[in-house]
Amino acid sequence: MKQIKKRLKSGETLIGCWLNLGSSITAEIVGLSGFDWVLIDLEHGAGEPKDLLHQLQALQHTPAAAIVRVESYQKERIHRVLDLGAEGVMCPRINSAMEAKTAVRGMHYPPKGIRGVAKMVRATGFGKDFNQYKSSTWENLLGVIQIETLEALEELDQIAATPGVDALFIGPADLTVALGIDGDLNHPLFLEAVDRIVKAAKNASKAVGILIFDPSDFGKYQDMGIQLIACGSDATFVASGARDLQSKLSQFKKPGK
């Protein structure tokens, strides 16, 4: 494992990126570019669960730790991606401390959790490293809970205090919609919510994460105490690169040719 949880606990700021094409090739390209972590998106991404294994294999020899965003907080979805070798799980649209508890319990074996035990899986070296893996999941696996609803804001302190919740991750798109300020990241309501999330996490000795859309905002959020910062995705890299090149080539195109 790439020690992403220990690095967060040490106070390091970690740079991440979304992977939403379901492609092992773009996963490898992004992983080799130097990001500390990547988020494989099974909630909104184009990839299916069957594509996850190949992306995890592609990322294994890169510096990037693999976190997987699952579609729900049900344990069946969570332990499946962990058995395949994910180093962390992000659960979207968590509304309460009870849902957060259910999510993190699905990440860990009894007695701390309810994860089913399977030895012959990729995460354990197909049985070779099972004992070490089983004894170290609490120290190594990163549990990330997304804060993106009004209900979650109402239970911030309880969610942050939930054992096994390692980071609160701000979902800016959904959160601004919930606040009635669709996409306005400079609105006082959004900034107040971010401040509340950071304070709740700090009081519980947990980390905070966010997805940003403008790289120049990195310093602003880092100064707020946010450590897990993502920007961009494999899809946006391909799209922006293609559009930029097409635009440049079009400048040289002669009329009628």
Known catalytic residues are 44
- CA-CA-CA-CA dihedral for 64, 65, 70, 73, to nearest 10: -150
CA gap 41, 30 in Å, rounded:
14
Cα–Cα distance between 170 and 68 in angstroms, integer? 16
Structural contact between residues 212 and 218, judged by C-beta atoms closer than 8 angstroms: yes
The number of residues making up the chain comes to 257
Rounded Cα distance between 105 and 113, Å, is 4
Give the Cα separation of 17 and 34 in Å (integer).
Answer: 10
**Residues β-bridged to residue 169:** 146, 209
